[in-house]
Structure formats: structure tokens, C-alpha cells
């Protein structure tokens, strides 16, 4: 019988979109975790479909949401983020042995929620006449995962607490844009995503502080050092301070954002 972490790796390796989502949502979080098991990285991580085509971020030229295609492109970009978030949560669960069982259960529950978000967005895109893969996308989230593959502290600091936390900041403006285009269904989906993502970033904060305590590190100074060492993007205003507080960022961290 496989362990939960091995099942997570099998889902990560799936290239077919529907298969990856099905395997992720079917993960039995009550299964033995296998926390001590050191798994060798197989070829093909992460499993991906042939589309969307991945291009540099600067090559993407967003259209205005006043057209159907422009609105679909924006929704597609959010769906791509959620698909990557599935891969990221699966990856952190299989890649790093020796953490408490609760760590793996947390991230695989998050993977299942990300899979739900992706499904809601993909279904909505289908209602507009498009599918995931219809537009080009970029690979910035996974590029940071590759840079931090050797250190769980760096991964937690710079993916959920940095790149995914940017989703908290971006959500209000994106929702206003979609509602302004008359897409109330998309607005409802973004509300679900924001609610869940606050919990995901909170898990990142909780485990980041646990790791800092375990290693005898000061969290704020350590974050600044990791951000510089691994080339994290510079965070820019506006910040969703309310959502960040709910996600567990403390006053010192929020002050550092302003600086």
C-alpha cells in the first residue's frame, strides 16, 4: 500500500488535467502519511498538459475585459494560477520528508481546495466558450518552486507567503474589474477563492514560524534574507491588509511591507 505522500507524487506526475484534478480530490487524508520516507524525484515533475503554451511573463499581452475574449483571458490566467497551486501543494507534500504529519495533511487539503478552485474557473470558462489551454500562460510560480526545491523553509517563505499572498492583494481589483464587465458568477468564484486562500497563506505563516523556531531563526530578518537570496519579486502596493492580517501576518511583517 502506498503512503499519502506517494499518492501526492502520483497526482503531481499526471499530465492530463482531468486526471490530476481527480487524483488530487481523491486523496485520502486519513491514509498513513509516510513522513520519514525519502522519495527520489522521478522525471516529469510536474506533470503538465501540452497546453497552455508557457511563455515569458512579458510576452503576455492582456486584453480589456470589455470583450468576451478579454474576460476569458483574465479568467484563464487565474485558472492557470490555481492549476499551478495544485502542483505546488502536491510538490511540497512529497518533496520534503521529516515534517510532522499535520504538515502534509495541511498541504494536501490545500491541494484539494485549489483543485476545486480550478474546476470552478474551468467550468465557468467552458460556459463562455473557452477551455484551459486556450491562451498562453507564464511559469513564474513553478520557477520559484524549482529555486527553493532544496529547502522547505525557503519554499514556504517564498511560495505561499509571498507569491500566493499576492493573490490576496490582487483579488479586490480583479473582482471589481470582472463585476464591472457584468460577470457576477466570476465575482462569486473569486469570493470563494479569497476565503480559502486566506487559510492557505495562514498555513504558510504557521509552518514558516514553526520552521524558524525549530532552526532558531528570527522570522522577519530571515524572510528578508531568503527573499534576496532566491530572487523573490519585490512586493508592491496596494496590499490587502485586512486579508493579510486574517492570514496571520503580524504588525512587524506588515510594517516591513510598507518599507
C-alpha cell at 26: 481523491
- Give me the pLDDT at residue 84, please: 97
Cβ atoms within 10 Å of 76's Cβ, excluding its own: 24
User: Domains of the chain: which residue ranges?
Assistant: 4-258
Q: Does the pLDDT of residue 111 top 90, yes or no?
A: yes
Residue pair 89/111 in contact by the 8 Å Cβ criterion: yes
C-alpha cell at 246: 486574517
Sequence-ordered list of residues with C-beta below 8 angstroms from that of 129, at least 6 positions apart, any chain: 68, 72
Sequence-ordered list of residues with C-beta below 8 angstroms from that of 218, at least 6 positions apart, any chain: 212
Q: What backbone phi and psi angles, to 5 degrees, belong to 54?
A: -95, 125
- Give me the pLDDT at residue 251, please: 94
**Which tens digit of pLDDT belongs to each residue from 116-163?**
999 999 999 999 999 999 999 999 999 999 999 999 999 999 999 999
Q: Does the pLDDT of residue 168 top 80, yes or no?
A: yes
d(CA 197, CA 201): 6
Q: Give 143 or 257, the one with higher predicted confidence.
A: 143
Sequence-ordered list of residues with C-beta below 8 angstroms from that of 123, at least 6 positions apart, any chain: none
Instruction: State the Cα angle at 162 between 159 and 168, rounded to 5°.
Output: 110
Question: Length of the chain, please?
Answer: 259
- Give me the pLDDT at residue 57, please: 87
**Which tens digit of pLDDT belongs to each residue from 10-50?**
999 999 999 999 999 999 999 999 999 999 999 999 999 99
Residue pair 124/185 in contact by the 8 Å Cβ criterion: yes
**Which tens digit of pLDDT belongs to each residue from 175-187?**
999 999 999 999 9
Residue 153, class by beta-carbon neighbours within 10 Å (0-12 exposed, 13-18 middle, 19+ buried)? buried
C-alpha cell at 96: 520534503
The count of C-alpha atoms lying within 13 angstroms of the C-alpha of 200, restricted to the half-sphere facing its C-beta, is 29
Residue pair 34/8 in contact by the 8 Å Cβ criterion: no
pLDDT band at 257 (very low <50, low <70, confident <90, very high): confident
Residue pair 224/256 in contact by the 8 Å Cβ criterion: yes
**Which tens digit of pLDDT belongs to each residue from 45-83?**
999 999 999 999 889 988 889 999 999 999 999 999 999
C-alpha cell at 58: 512579458
Amino acid at each position: 500500500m502506498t503512503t499519502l505522500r506517494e499518492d501526492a507524487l502520483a497526482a503531481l506526475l499526471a499530465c492530463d488535467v482531468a486526471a490530476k484534478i481527480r487524483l488530487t480530490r481523491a486523496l485520502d487524508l486519513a491514509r498513513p502519511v509516510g513522513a520519514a520516507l525519502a522519495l527520489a524525484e522521478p522525471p516529469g515533475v510536474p506533470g503538465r498538459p501540452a497546453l497552455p503554451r508557457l511563455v515569458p511573463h512579458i510576452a503576455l499581452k492582456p486584453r480589456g475585459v470589455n470583450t468576451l475574449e478579454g474576460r476569458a483571458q483574465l479568467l484563464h490566467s487565474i485558472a492557470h494560477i490555481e492549476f499551478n497551486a495544485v502542483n505546488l501543494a502536491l510538490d511540497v507534500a512529497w518533496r520534503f520528508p521529516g515534517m510532522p504529519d499535520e504538515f502534509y495533511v495541511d498541504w494536501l487539503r490545500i491541494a484539494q481546495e485549489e483543485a476545486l478552485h480550478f474546476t470552478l474557473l474551468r467550468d465557468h470558462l467552458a460556459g463562455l466558450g473557452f477551455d484551459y489551454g486556450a491562451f498562453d500562460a507564464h511559469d513564474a510560480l513553478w520557477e520559484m518552486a524549482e529555486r527553493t526545491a532544496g529547502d522547505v523553509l525557503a519554499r514556504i517563505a517564498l511560495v505561499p507567503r509571498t507569491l500566493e499572498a499576492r493573490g490576496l492583494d490582487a483579488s479586490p481589483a480583479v473582482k471589481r474589474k470582472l463585476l464591472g464587465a457584468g460577470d457576477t458568477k466570476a465575482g462569486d468564484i473569486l469570493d470563494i477563492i479569497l476565503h480559502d486562500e486566506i487559510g492557505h497563506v495562514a498555513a504558510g505563516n504557521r509552518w514558516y514560524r514553526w520552521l524558524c523556531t525549530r532552526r532558531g531563526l528570527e522570522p522577519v530578518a530571515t524572510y528578508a534574507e531568503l527573499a534576496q537570496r532566491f530572487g523573490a519579486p519585490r512586493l508592491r502596493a496596494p496590499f490587502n491588509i485586512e486579508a493579510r492580517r486574517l492570514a496571520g501576518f503580524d504588525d512587524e511583517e506588515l510594517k516591513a511591507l510598507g518599507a
